Structure 1
Amino acid sequence: MADETSEALAGVDELMQRVALDYEALPRQLKSVASYIEQHRASVMMDRTSDIAASCGVHPSAVVRFAQRFGFSGFSDLQAVFRQAYGAQGASATSYQQRIRQLIDAKDASLDMGGAVAREFIGACRSGLDELEAGLDGAQFDAAVQMLEAADNIYVIGVRRSFPVASYIVYALQHTRKRVHLVSGFGGMYHEQIRSVRKGDVVIAISFAPYGKETQYCLRVAQEHHAKTLVITDSQLSPLARHASAQLYVKEGSAFAFRSLTSTFCLCQALFIALAYRLELNVEESTDTGGYDD
């Protein structure tokens, strides 16, 4: 069963990679549909064409045209790809959303006393972590660790909701021997703080929809200065991901219209631990006198 699920998820990933490659050439309406599907992978199998169209502000025929653009006879055939990958999760996902809606509609006073809000949010965080584990690209993760290991300087940028994550990465990486810089933008000085980036450096950019303009600017400067870039974002269609040296994707769970940061922090902690392990291993190898003849 696990192998079948992995194969089905790979089918979804392959489809979304094709969408990402063609994204810039898509008409505006089809871009809206592509973004919706990327953001709602686990639930798109249950969505009606009319509901997706309403969410995207397009006519339902645009949803059908999107499916046909990528080789499906209709939208139901495209949904089958997602149903195969996420079908086992469907019942629990639906009941979870229904419980959230019921709690909000009921305005139950016991929420504050019984910890129901906390439990719902914890459940959302757990769901996000499960999706992070299932969708983690091991090759991209390894590439990110290798880039950080080789970096002369590491610059980290994240604004608004992503700022706590950026601050944490800087805090953690400062426990290694790397030179680490937080592009904080204090005083509006994003330009001044990122202008010294150069070849041999790595810029870590963290951003989620609607994607901070400041983060996009810093990423462009890094690329113009031939620095390598590691993007942590929520979609292959993200404007930050298209030209990054390595990309890691995070879909956070949400409850009561608030998105968690749990999965993003977990991913960043994993990056730090993997990098610290590599750096320490290199120290041990370089100081090892051997003691044995070949």
Structure 2
Amino acid sequence: MNTQTDLVKNINNKYNSLSKGQKLLANYILNNYDKAVYLTAAKMGKIVGVSESTVVRFATILGYDGYPKLQRALEEMAKNKLNSVQRMEVTFDRINKDNILKYVLHSDAEKIRLTSEEIDEEAFKNAIEMLLHAKKIYIIGIRSSAPLASFLSYYLGLIFDHVVMIQSNSTSELFEQLYRIGEEDVLVGISFPRYSRSTLKAMEFASNRKAKLISITDSYVSPMTKYCDCNLLARCDMASIADSIVAPMSIINAIIVGVCQQKQEEVVSTFASLEEIWNEYQVYRYDEEGNQTNPED
């Protein structure tokens, strides 16, 4: 039980049997879920006027294995409903302006840690196999997911000669670029809260054409997973001014390494040829000690 529907339904179903203090907690969560999601058990108890132990018992009564699991359900409830202004307000409340750098670095490190613990390794292996056997690979990521899609497209484009990055979120252009997708092809869709409608439309279109679909998204209740054969889940921060994409970027790095490992000889040959071209056309330059440097540096 971890979707917003489960949480609201469970609170409503059990409301009449709750104690006075638990009803206060239920009302606070239903009316202030966007604030409640960031509170510790102690802080929520203080705001509502009950003890920390009452908050923990309330989570157990709702069927959650402790307060952190209730918080995770609250995240699912809140993530797609916070607009950009609300996200900024939450961020400003959470971060001490004198400790911004450490807060963000520690927060990003925590997302990678949690993603590492929660990732489905079988799904990851399946994704690698799907990419290796695809006739054509399509990749879509829009808005803050666009850099992820671009990075994945760049490196897969060096490995395969059949990679297409969907370049527009215009509905008509999107379908034009996907027009030839078929059951031997793979579409990788990347989207995080707030989920892109264009990406979801692309996934639905490809699914109807019987293409294989891989999602890189944040949870199993993401609308992205509805169409997909394979879901790679990465933690993100839906209450930050700028979306945190470090965990999905790590998954993408792993995909690139995984594909390269299965095509070692071809990849080595490809990059040996590329090195000759880069040297011939001075894509990189060498400093006085023979180290390569970017010519724009």
Q: CA deviation at 1:229?
A: 0.1
2:177 to 187, 190, 193: 193
Q: 1:258 aligns with which of 239, 242, 250?
A: 242
Aligned length: 215
- The answer to whether the aligner puts 1:119 opposite 2:95 as a matched pair is no
Q: 2:145 aligns with which of 147, 162, 166?
A: 162
Q: Distance in 2 between matches of 1:163 and 1:99?
A: 23
Partner-residue secondary structure (3-state), 1:244 = coil
Q: What is the aligned partner in structure 1 of residue 224 from structure 2?
A: 240
Q: Is the 8 A contact 2:217 2:231 kept in 1?
A: yes
Normalised to the residue count of structure 1, the TM-score between the two structures is 0.63
Partner of 1:153: 136
Q: 1:218 aligns with which of 202, 218, 235?
A: 202
- 1:132 paired to 2:153: no
Q: Return the index of the structure with the highest Cα Rg.
A: 2
Pair 1:31–1:220, CA change in 2 (3 A): farther
Question: 2:50 maps to which residue?
Answer: none
What is the SS of the residue equivalent to 1:157?
A: strand
Q: Is the 8 A contact 2:260 2:267 kept in 1?
A: no
Does the 8 A contact of 1:208 with 1:233 survive in 2? yes
Deviates more, 1:225-234 or 1:181-190: 181-190
**CA contact 2:135–2:162 (8 Å) conserved in 1:** yes
Residues 169 and 198 in structure 2, CA contact (< 8 A), matched pair in contact too: no
1:257 deviates by: 3.7
In structure 2, runs of 5+ residues without a counterpart are 13-24, 35-56, 72-89, 269-297
Deviation at 1:281, TM superposition (A): 6.7
Percent identity for Structure 1 against Structure 2: 20
Give the RMSD, CA atoms, in angstroms.
3.6
TM-score of the two chains, using structure 2 as the length reference: 0.62
Report the Cα distance in structure 2 between the residues aligned to 1:32 and 1:204, rounded to whole angstroms: 37
- Give the direction of change, closer, same or farther, for the CA distance of 1:261–1:255 in structure 2 (3 Å limit): same
Aligned partners of 2:140 and 2:149 also within 8 Å:
yes
Question: Aligned residue for 2:31?
Answer: 54
- Where in structure 2 are the equivalents of 1:194-209 lying within 5 Å? 194-209=178-193
Q: Which runs of 5+ in 1 are unaligned?
A: 1-14, 34-47, 58-72, 88-97, 285-294
Whole-angstrom CA distance in 2 between matches of 1:82 and 1:176: 46
Say whether the 8 Å CA contact 1:203–1:227 is kept in structure 2. Answer: yes
Q: 1:227 — aligned with what?
A: 211
Q: Displacement, 1:129?
A: 0.4
Do the aligned partners of 1:126 and 1:253 also contact (CA within 8 Å) in 2?
no
> Are residues 28 and 119 of structure 1, via their aligned partners in 2, closer, same or farther at CA, if it must alter by over 3 Å?
closer
- 2:136 touches 2:184 (CA, 8 Å); kept in 1? yes
SS at match of 1:134: helix
Q: Quote the residue 1:180 is aligned against.
A: 163
Provide the C-alpha distance between the structure 1 equivalents of 2:66 and 2:250, rounded to a whole number of angstroms: 26
